A and B are shown apart, each in its own frame.
Chain A
Amino acid sequence: DGGITQSPKYLFRKEGQNVTLSCEQNLNHDAMYWYRQDPGQGLRLIYYSQIVNDFQKGDIAEGYSVSREKKESFPLTVTSAQKNPTAFYLCASSLRGPNTEAFFGQGTRLTVV
C-alpha cells in the first residue's frame, strides 16, 4: 500500500534531549513538509523540501532541523534549543509541491517530561 508513515506515534523527551521524528513515504512524491499543531493554532510550517538534498525553513524553524538525503525520507530533529516542543507533529508529502494534493501521516505526539 502506498502512503506516508510517521513514527513513533507517541514520543516522550526529557529536558535537554534531542529527538528525531521519522517520516517515510512511498508515493514517489517530490515535496515533503513538517507541521506543528498546537490547540487552537492550526498547522504551522516548520520545514519543507521540494526536492532531494534541498529544504527551506518555514515559519517556526528555530529549534528544529531536517535532512532530505533520500526522496522517501524527511526526518525532523527537535533539538534542545526548542523551548516548548510539546505538540502534535504532522508530516505531509505532495507530488509536485503546493499545487497538488498533500497526503498526511497520522502524526507524532511529542511530550516533554
Chain B
Amino acid sequence: SQQGEEDPQALSIQEGENATMNCSYKTSINNLQWYRQNSGRGLVHLILIRSNEREKHSGRLRVTLDTSKKSSSLLITASRAADTASYFCATDSTQGGSEKLVFGKGTKLTVNP
C-alpha cells in the first residue's frame, strides 16, 4: 500500500507563480522526503524533513511538516519552466521489523512560459 498521497494530481501554473503541493500519509513517520522526476527519468532527491522539524528551506523550495495532521507541503517559489516535472513525497514505513521507503502517486506540475 502507498503511504503518501499527493494533492493535487496535476497542477498547471504560469512562470513566476508559486506552486504548492500537498502530501498526506497514514502512519507515524521518522522523516518525509520530496523527490522530483522528469518524464521518463529516475527520481532526484529534493529535501528531507525529520519528524521533529516543522519547516525546512532549500533554495526556492520550502517544505512544511505537520505530524498532528499527518501532512506535508512543498512550495516552489518563483517557478520556472524548468520546474516542470512530477513531484513525489516518500516516507519511511516499518514492516515486520524492516524499514522501507514508500512513495505516493505524485503531483504533475506544468509551468507555462
Contact = CB atoms under 8 A, between A and B. Distances in A.
Contacts, number: 78
A104 B43 contact: yes
Interface residues of A, number: 30
Contacts of A44: 2
Contacts of B31: 98-99
**Could you say which interface size class chain B belongs to?**
20 to 34
B6 to A, nearest CB: 8
B68 to A, nearest CB: 21
A56 B96 contact: yes
B43 A92 contact: yes
Interface string B82-102: 000000101111011011111
Contacts of B99: 50, 97-99
Interface stretch (B13-21, B52-60, B69-77, B103-111): B103-111
Contacts of A88: 40
A41 to B, nearest CB: 6
Contacts of A107: 40-42
Contacts of A92: 42-43, 101
B48 interface: yes
Given A56-B95, A59-B1, A101-B48, A42 B42 contact: no
Give me the 7 closest cross-chain CB pairs, A-B, nearest first.
A42-B105, A104-B42, A98-B92, A98-B101, A43-B103, A104-B43, A101-B45
